[in-house]
């Protein structure tokens, strides 16, 4: 398929012109209210909402790596402080 200008798009593929290293395009279904909240926060921060979702997921994964023993100790310390 050629256009008027002589460009041949018969082997063209959709997607970014330059591949993004370390990133994979996927389709995911999220609740409308979650997406809207990330869009609102991203607009206020001057960044992209998908970047904020990625950062939130990364923070969750980092937090969930914490050993159970460390989490239990932290909870006990907080409870002891609150009881004092």
Query: Among 54, 63, 4, which residue's Cα sits nearest to residue 28?
Result: 54
**pTM recorded for the entire structure:** 0.57
Q: Are 45 and 37 in contact (CB under 8 A)?
A: no
Q: What is the pLDDT of residues 51-76, one digit of tens each?
A: 999 999 999 888 878 788 888 899 99
**pLDDT score recorded for residue 53:** 96
Q: What is the pLDDT of residues 4-38, one digit of tens each?
A: 578 888 888 777 667 778 888 889 999 999 999 99
Q: Match 């932290």 to its residue by tokens.
A: 74
DSSP-assigned letters across all residues of 35-72: HHHHHHHHHHHTS-HHHHHHHHHHHHHHHHTS-HHHHH
Domain ranges for the chain: 32-83
Instruction: Assign residue 79 a region (left: φ > 0; alpha: ψ between -120 and 50; beta: otherwise).
Output: alpha
């Amino acid at each position: 398929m050629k256009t008027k200008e002589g460009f041949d798009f018969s082997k063209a593929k959709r997607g970014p012109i330059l591949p993004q290293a370390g990133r994979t395009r996927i389709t995911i279904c999220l609740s409308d209210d979650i997406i809207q909240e990330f869009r609102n926060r991203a607009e206020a921060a001057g960044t992209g909402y998908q970047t904020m979702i990625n950062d939130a997921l990364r923070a969750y994964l980092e937090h969930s790596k914490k050993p159970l023993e460390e989490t239990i100790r932290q909870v006990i310390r907080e409870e002891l402080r609150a009881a004092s």
